Amino acid sequence: MMHHHGAAAPDRTGDLPVVALVGRPNVGKSTFLARGSGRFAETANAPGTTVFLERRRVCADGREALLVDLPGTRSLLDRPAGSGPFWQHLETARPDALLVLVDAGDLARHLPLALACRDLGLPIVVAANLSDEAARHGIELDTGRLSQLLLAPVHVTNGRSGEGVQAALADAIRLATRRRDVRLGLSAPSSTLPAPIYPPSLEARVGAEAAELSARVPGLRSVGAAVLDATGFGRLIEAGVANPRGAATIVLGTELDAARADLAGSWSRQVERLRAVRPPLRDRLERLATEPVPGIPAFVAVTLATFGLMVVVGGWLAAILGNAWAAAVSPALTAVVTAIIPIPSLASSILWAVDGGLLALISVGIPYILTFYVLLAALEDSGYLTSAAVLLDRVFNALGLPGRAAVPLLAAAGCNVPALYGTRILRTRRERILASFLITLTPCSARSAVVIAALVPLAGPGVALAAFVVTAAVAIAAGVGANKLVPGRQPSLVLEMARLRVPVAGHVAQKAWARFRGFVLTAAPIMLIGSFVVGLAWETGAWAPISTALGPLTEGWLGLPPIAGVAFAFGFLRKELALQLLIALAVVEYGLGAGDLGTFMTAGQVFVFAIVTSISIPCAATLAALIAELGRRPALTITLGSLALALAAGGVIARIVGIA
């Protein structure tokens, strides 16, 4: 899978030394990387959001290197982000040195990973990160002593403020450069064999295993790929990521872990200087956050506040931007396009794309999606989401998902596309499929906008709320059903709780912006092309046959005017335009008086229309993301599934409200 993301060997251009960042989830690697490289990496205060292999060119002390962010892992054999074991990521990254981030406030928990990295035989630099939080708990480190014990440089760092980051990075680059020079034959190797630290019996086992591995490796070269895959450790040695002893320590990882934990415990006691401090208030908050009371009321409040802010701020921004567009940009664009393009219908179609399409991007994307990303980023960085995940775990269990699925599902309310990428934090493919299905059923801000805009003026906010309740009920029922249908079982939750932190405004803004940029880059072309196609169908009158073809479904089953079918079909391309399209079509079909929904549809019909729109088919961008993330078949199954569900729910409701 890694190869899809361009992280494979070929980009070792110029043979730059490679430094890989290793650390347990949530130790602040991405923030550290952002500080170290001066750019933003996908970070979140929720374990496991780093899912791509990020590579950055960095420079320190005049040396250049590639810095690779690896997914957070708890051991070399751990399987982060539902991928292969962590050592395979190392093999992909081919580092020359490891920069191991540990929590300065909890060495006993974090040092075993550093020891495992040290065992590989690669040079390591240890960054005792989160030093601000450690200090808050009265913990100070004797880094000199820790360096002696680890036989590796140790730096106290704070990714949030940048303290120590450059120094740690420079050290790692220095070691990586030296090793790269050895690798390229530019300088002679110096012995890097670490002194034995484990009990003699374990060291003997490691030695024996190493001997066996090194005996096997030369043979493997000629045996072929099949054997290599079966014994990936040999490959690891060949890649130069580990020496035979290092590979042996991976093979014996589970046995060594107990010894590592013991060492970590005794070393941490030796290097920690504890000071009496009043336990920080956030310790208490962390405890309260997962208690039923006040945890649940707090969760409800946070959720309501999030959506309240999104609606208020989003609506306000949408109005401003929409008006500004209509007043300034739209007339200019129209004038320019009609002047350049001589064929009126083509000009209009292009205007659909550049005027309507960009307007949609600006009046929906920026106000709602960007606002949501800012809020989500703040929530993620606050560390609150793991508390929410724990509170909601049982609820999500019923849907076949762990509590952490709350993160992408919440994101889905902003836009389905990033939410689908967010499902990478789930551990199994089954969880990802189930979550993706639920995401496509979750009304994104564009669909919510349709529901609100259609129902609130006509039937009042209560009915709009009812539509959301119905949608949620359908989604939950579908999720429960899908959990039963999709084979397998979701594993039980074991998750380290994130610490509560005050989000750093700069990071939140950077993160929200980076994600928004990604969203725009994915969605904008599809939106523009989609708008163009819609425009073309509109201008050429091609929509009429579609309307007729969909007639039985729209009229017969859903009890809606036939033109609603066209609105649905085009909604696939431009979800947020479904409503405008409907009104525009109605004007064409029924005459000018139909500028208002109420003149050609009853409240019941609008309700059904809103429900079907909010559940129905994912938009084109979502479909593209589904295919990219899960493959064609699941993507198609999910799409057809949600379409069937939308039509079924719409038909049933149509019968209940008596319009069909």
> Per rule CB under 8 A, is residue 494 in the interface with another protein?
yes
> Per rule CB under 8 A, is residue 287 in the interface with another protein?
yes
> Per rule CB under 8 A, is residue 202 in the interface with another protein?
no
* Contact assessment for residue 263 and residue 256, using Cβ atoms and an 8 Å cutoff: no
> Per rule CB under 8 A, is residue 265 in the interface with another protein?
yes
> Per rule CB under 8 A, is residue 473 in the interface with another protein?
no
> Per rule CB under 8 A, is residue 386 in the interface with another protein?
yes
Compute the Cα dihedral for 69, 71, 72, 76 and give only its sign. negative
> Per rule CB under 8 A, is residue 371 in the interface with another protein?
no
By beta-carbon proximity to another protein, the closer residue of 42 and 286 is: 286
Which position among 48, 403, 571, 634 is part of the footprint of another protein (CB under 8 A)? 403
Which position among 212, 229, 291, 596 is part of the footprint of another protein (CB under 8 A)? 291
> Per rule CB under 8 A, is residue 483 in the interface with another protein?
no
Q: Which amino acid is at 398?
A: A
By beta-carbon proximity to another protein, the closer residue of 72 and 443 is: 72
Helix, strand, or coil (residue 501): coil
Distances from the Cα of 602 to the Cα of 86, 454, 458, 563, 583, angstroms: 58, 11, 9, 15, 14
By beta-carbon proximity to another protein, the closer residue of 361 and 500 is: 500
Stretch (H or E) spanning 109: helix 107-119
Which position among 39, 63, 136, 137 is part of the footprint of another protein (CB under 8 A)? 137
* Contact assessment for residue 159 and residue 99, using Cβ atoms and an 8 Å cutoff: no
> Per rule CB under 8 A, is residue 520 in the interface with another protein?
no
> Per rule CB under 8 A, is residue 391 in the interface with another protein?
yes
> Which span (28-36, 250-258, 464-472, 602-610) binds another protein, by CB under 8 A?
250-258
> Which span (408-416, 487-495, 514-522, 610-618) binds another protein, by CB under 8 A?
487-495
Which position among 8, 151, 230, 258 is part of the footprint of another protein (CB under 8 A)? 258
For residue 15, the tally of other CB atoms under 10 A from its CB is 13
> Per rule CB under 8 A, is residue 383 in the interface with another protein?
no
CB of 142 to another protein, least distance (A): 9
CB burial of residue 513 (10 Å; 0-12, 13-18, 19+): middle
Beta bridge partners of 99: 21, 125
Distance CA 515, CA 419 (A): 11
Distance CA 565, CA 552 (A): 10
Range 266-285, binding another protein (CB under 8 A): 268-270, 272, 274-277, 279, 283
> Per rule CB under 8 A, is residue 493 in the interface with another protein?
yes
By beta-carbon proximity to another protein, the closer residue of 109 and 180 is: 109
Give the position of tokens 């006040």.
294
Q: Which amino acid is at 154?
A: V
Q: List b or e across 194-212, with b for residues whose CB sees 16 or more CB atoms inside 10 angstroms.
A: beebbeeebeebbeebbee
> Per rule CB under 8 A, is residue 431 in the interface with another protein?
no
Q: Which of 638, 641, 646 is nearest to 564 (CA)?
A: 646
> Per rule CB under 8 A, is residue 106 in the interface with another protein?
yes
Which residues fall within 8 angstroms of residue 210, CB to CB, at 6 or more apart?
243, 244, 245, 247, 248
Which position among 222, 484, 492, 658 is part of the footprint of another protein (CB under 8 A)? 492
> Which span (243-251, 390-398, 450-458, 645-653) binds another protein, by CB under 8 A?
390-398
Helix, strand, or coil (residue 502): coil
> Per rule CB under 8 A, is residue 496 in the interface with another protein?
yes
For residue 337, the tally of other CB atoms under 10 A from its CB is 18
Judge if the upstream peptide bond of residue 294 is cis by omega within 30 degrees of 0.
yes
CB of 290 to another protein, least distance (A): 5
Rounded to the nearest 10 degrees, what angle do helices 563-571 and 603-615 cross at? Answer: 20
> Per rule CB under 8 A, is residue 420 in the interface with another protein?
no
Q: Tokens for 499, please give them.
A: 């610490």
Which residues fall within 8 angstroms of residue 258, CB to CB, at 6 or more apart?
none
CB burial of residue 398 (10 Å; 0-12, 13-18, 19+): exposed
By beta-carbon proximity to another protein, the closer residue of 190 and 492 is: 492
CB of 520 to another protein, least distance (A): 35
Beta bridge partners of 21: 69, 99
Residues 44-83 vs another protein: string with x where CB under 8 A?
------------------------------xx--x-----
CB of 391 to another protein, least distance (A): 5
> Which span (156-164, 292-300, 326-334, 565-573) binds another protein, by CB under 8 A?
292-300
Q: Which of 483, 492, 475, 481 is nearest to 430 (CA)?
A: 483
> Per rule CB under 8 A, is residue 85 in the interface with another protein?
no
CB of 499 to another protein, least distance (A): 9
Binding residues for another protein, rule: CB under 8 A, are 74-75, 78, 105-106, 108-109, 137-138, 254, 257-258, 261, 265, 268-270, 272, 274-277, 279, 283, 286-287, 290-292, 295-296, 386, 389-395, 403, 491-497
